[in-house]
Structure 1
Amino acid sequence: MARDVSDTTPIGARSELVEWIASGEKPREAWRLGTEHEKIPFYTADASPVPYEGSRGIRALLDGLQARTGWEPILENDRPIGLADETDGGAISLEPGGQFELSGAPLETLHDTARETAQHLADAKAVGEGLGLGFLTLGMSPLWTRAQTPVMPKARYRIMTDYMPKVGSLGLDMMYRTSTVQVNMDYASEADMVKKLRVSLALQPVAAAIFANSPFTDGKPNGYLSMRSAIWLDTDRDRTGMMAFAFEDGFGYERYVDWVLDVPMYFVKRDETYHDVAGSSFRDLFAGRHPRLPGERATRSDWANHVSTVFPEVRLKRYLEMRGADVGNLEHIVALSAFWTGLLYDETALDGAWELVKGWTAQERERLRAAVPTQALKARIAGRSVQDVARDALALARTGLQRRGYRDDSGRDETRHLAYADEIVASGRTQAERLLELYHGEWNGSVLPAFKECVF
């Protein structure tokens, strides 16, 4: 989740909200990618969950990483809830159930992303081993019930926890028991944003299928290949989904702003206090007539924080966030970034990707999103299997990365980071299906071996 910001500049007009998003436009030479991933910590001795407090808890993990990296602590009520790299722009944050998240710095190449992620994992592993902790490479907690899952001490999460059961049956599972990987991408103009948003929305279920990796819940198979993706189907539909309106004529910054304005709020932050206004209207705050905050008017930070609480499959802030995939190991994480970088950062590949998806209807896109959690690469859209669509998309991404021409110290271009996804799509077998085979085979009907085999 995003780090909540503080900017008390009042918002005077709706146009300022549009300008806030438009201010993210960057020329091609300034485009960067930022990779984020979450991972679930556990005690290696007994596969039990890790609480915040205690000599070997999440707080101790943050303290150890601060000492190791020199990153600055992010505090809430004098307790560390994350770390910030003030030099390069990366950050570590906590998800509601203790999922440990790296929000990577904006980097130029996938080689940089691979190095950054590997360094973070080495740091987390070194500190974690001293505390008896490991980290899972799964998109959902495979063993603990929701009641057994720890709760992190962040005020915004308490507000969300109270609100989620009112707007869906699985929002708390999303918050406390899932882990994702996403990549954040730049755009040059409103037209460039619209094209990238449409392509990435349409292909988000395809990415979810390729990277499906959450087949276990409560100690047994859950009936899905990506349970995490299924959870999003019943998590507060006011703020989630495929944004069919993004494909309508005339879509742009203003239409997105109007949608976000109508998404119910969670909170308003004033100084260090989070005011619970869950379910209320941002438009009321914008107009200075919010019933729970009389006299308060919306500020820039209110808008930035509110935008961070909408959860469509692709989120627009001052960059685009690809949000559809389960987390996995290092190669899985970087492959997700490679998939989207190859498609979106090369004009020819982007044109090809649009040709691939432009004929799909809103109904077909929705049906695909609903089918992928159980069927993954075997799901179908417009008469084709997702495996076939994924093969075409990966071919486009590969040529896009080749044209970017960034080489590592060994002279290899960025296409090498697609190898993980290439193998899955060529075989037609997701990581989730391989894990289920192990569960029914050499794991002898237990998920406990995952705590040794599915770890960073």
Structure 2
Amino acid sequence: MMRHRVSYAHLGAKVNPKHVASLVDYFESGCKPDSEFRYGVEIEHLPVRRGDDKAAGYYGRDGVENLLKDLRPYYRHEEEYWENGHLLGLGRPLMKVSLEPGSQVESSIGPCGTLGELVDLYQSFRQELDPIASRMGFRLVNYGYQPRSSYADISVVPKDRYAAMTDYLGRVGQYGLCMMRCSASTQVSIDYRDEADAVAKLRVGTALGPVISWFFKNSPWFEGGPNPYPLLRQRIWDFTDFQRTNLSPGLFDPDFGWEDYAVDVLSTPLMYVDLTHTPEAAGLEQEGLRRVAFKDNAADVYPDRRLNDYEVGHILSTHFNDVRLKKIVELRHWDSLPIARAIRLTGVVGNTFYDQAQFERLTAFCSQLEEIDVFAAKADLQARGSQARPYGRSLDEWGNLLGVEDSLDNLPGDPVHPDVFQV
């Protein structure tokens, strides 16, 4: 099939070349030599009440806000995040705790060089947190979706960004509010050495992420009943807001590069404007600094100059591709997992991206794909489940090829023993 160059800008959208250059420089600053490659792992947890497993909320004496307040002594005062008078995040070296819109508690771990380090950090997090949550009458569970609650039962935490997202995503797609309030994920971030390596990792991750999802699916419930979808997280994100989710347009074009990724992001409506770190916006009222943006993109909002790192980071955070490019490559496909399965998933990621021989084989395979092939593979998995044959291979074949059963064997650092999984 003959390939042809496509435009990465949304039709009619304007893009500022200075903004494009800012994003490209931002990506360039993330380059690392292979010797410095690490993992970052984010695990989101669903807070549920003991007894009925209904979602625990943010507010009240026994709410998630007070959970964070009781955790404060374990974290650095200067890394606390408050907004509108409410505590929303904590931090210390190699561990950040933040809240997703429906009070999902996210632990952001790393960057780590070994699985042992990752497990130790996570164990410390849970050993500090679990007694507090238990005292308040709830616990944190790892599933891809709330087990007993509907999105309509859950209020959004008091963060301006989330209020804007509720306004925006509640209107443009099918599952935006479900995603915000009830879903939870495991995400793994990896490093890249240069532009070519970053793009190759975006392609391999985008093509194979849905396949890996099959082996790590963890969503038995949806909206208070049995989950009808083979891959619920994929279904939710594919139907949330297509202009900022799913595949990066043109990713499988052989000439695709950082500039193309930047143009796509910059031409998309921002959804949420954040001018709190834009000097030219000094003096604006609060509603002018942070607001919903149904049609404005970066060129409509930010000055005609190079963007600072905060502005770039915000713009990139409004895009939710299956695999997202920042100063790392962020793989976003997977349901929230208990730590044992999250470690095994990280092992699969290590085998796929940091084993050079395996990565070269998979890169060569993905170089033959086009966007339509990835869409077809995702649709096949959703339609046929265990009988699917994404890219012409059975799921058993893919499991063997990706080393799902041997995923702890080829990672750098100390081996991880089964007893460290007990949290």
TM-score by length of 2: 0.86
Whether the 8 Å contact between 1:35 and 1:182 is mirrored in structure 2 is yes
* Cα offsets for 1:347-396 (capped at 9, x unmatched): 11211222444434422211222333464443212322233113201179
Q: Match of 2:25?
A: 19
Distance 1:151 1:165 in 2: 13
| Partner SS for 1:224 | coil
Cα displacement (A) at 1:323: 0.3
* Count of residues in correspondence between the two structures: 394
* Cα offsets for 1:407-427 (capped at 9, x unmatched): 2xxxx3x6x79xx9xxxxxxx
| Partner SS for 1:92 | strand
**Aligned pairs for 1:112-261 within 5 A:** 112-261=117-266
Identity percentage of aligned residues: 29
Task: Identify unmatched segments of 5+ residues in structure 2.
Answer: 1-15, 277-285
Q: Match of 1:359?
A: 368
Cα displacement (A) at 1:124: 2.1
Distance 1:314 1:111 in 2: 26
Whether the 8 Å contact between 2:58 and 2:157 is mirrored in structure 1 is yes
Distance 2:336 2:384 in 1: 18
- Flag the 1:89–1:11 CA change in 2: closer, same or farther, 3 A: farther
Whether the 8 Å contact between 1:164 and 1:171 is mirrored in structure 2 is yes
- Flag the 1:270–1:262 CA change in 2: closer, same or farther, 3 A: closer
Partner letter of residue 142 of structure 1? P
| Partner SS for 2:211 | helix
Q: Match of 2:11?
A: none
Cα displacement (A) at 1:328: 1.7
- Flag the 1:163–1:297 CA change in 2: closer, same or farther, 3 A: farther
Q: Match of 2:299?
A: 283
- Flag the 1:374–1:121 CA change in 2: closer, same or farther, 3 A: farther
Moved more, 220-229 or 366-375: 366-375
Distance 1:356 1:36 in 2: 28
1:75 aligns with 2:82: yes
Whether the 8 Å contact between 1:187 and 1:319 is mirrored in structure 2 is yes
- Flag the 1:42–1:395 CA change in 2: closer, same or farther, 3 A: closer
**Aligned pairs for 1:59-70 within 5 A:** 59-70=65-76
1:46 aligns with 2:52: yes
Whether the 8 Å contact between 1:349 and 1:397 is mirrored in structure 2 is no
Task: Identify unmatched segments of 5+ residues in structure 1.
Answer: 1-9, 289-295, 421-454
| Partner SS for 1:156 | helix
| Partner SS for 1:172 | helix
Cα displacement (A) at 1:116: 1.5
| Partner SS for 1:382 | helix
Q: Match of 2:272?
A: 267
Cα displacement (A) at 1:177: 0.9
- Flag the 1:161–1:120 CA change in 2: closer, same or farther, 3 A: same
**Aligned pairs for 1:272-311 within 5 A:** 273-286=289-302, 288=304, 299-311=308-320
Partner letter of residue 386 of structure 1? L
Distance 1:270 1:233 in 2: 29
Q: Match of 1:425?
A: none
Partner letter of residue 246 of structure 1? L
* Cα offsets for 1:114-167 (capped at 9, x unmatched): 221222222221221121111122100121122111321111010010011332
| Partner SS for 1:302 | helix
Whether the 8 Å contact between 2:207 and 2:374 is mirrored in structure 1 is yes
Distance 2:233 2:256 in 1: 29
Moved more, 133-142 or 278-287: 278-287
Cα displacement (A) at 1:286: 4.2
| Partner SS for 2:152 | coil
* Cα offsets for 1:2-36 (capped at 9, x unmatched): xxxxxxxx995532221011110011122111100
Moved more, 124-133 or 365-374: 365-374
Partner letter of residue 32 of structure 1? R
Distance 2:307 2:365 in 1: 41
**Aligned pairs for 1:342-381 within 5 A:** 342-373=351-382, 375-381=384-390
- Flag the 1:125–1:284 CA change in 2: closer, same or farther, 3 A: same
Distance 2:405 2:35 in 1: 21
Distance 2:406 2:242 in 1: 31
Distance 1:373 1:149 in 2: 27
Distance 1:384 1:78 in 2: 53
Q: Give me the CA root mean square deviation.
A: 2.6
Cα displacement (A) at 1:297: 8.9
* Cα offsets for 1:183-240 (capped at 9, x unmatched): 1111011111111111111111012111111131233213123322211121100001
Whether the 8 Å contact between 1:82 and 1:91 is mirrored in structure 2 is yes
Distance 2:76 2:34 in 1: 32
Distance 1:266 1:249 in 2: 30
Distance 1:363 1:275 in 2: 36
Partner letter of residue 67 of structure 1? P
* Cα offsets for 1:304-335 (capped at 9, x unmatched): 10101100110000100010011121111112
Q: Match of 1:442?
A: none
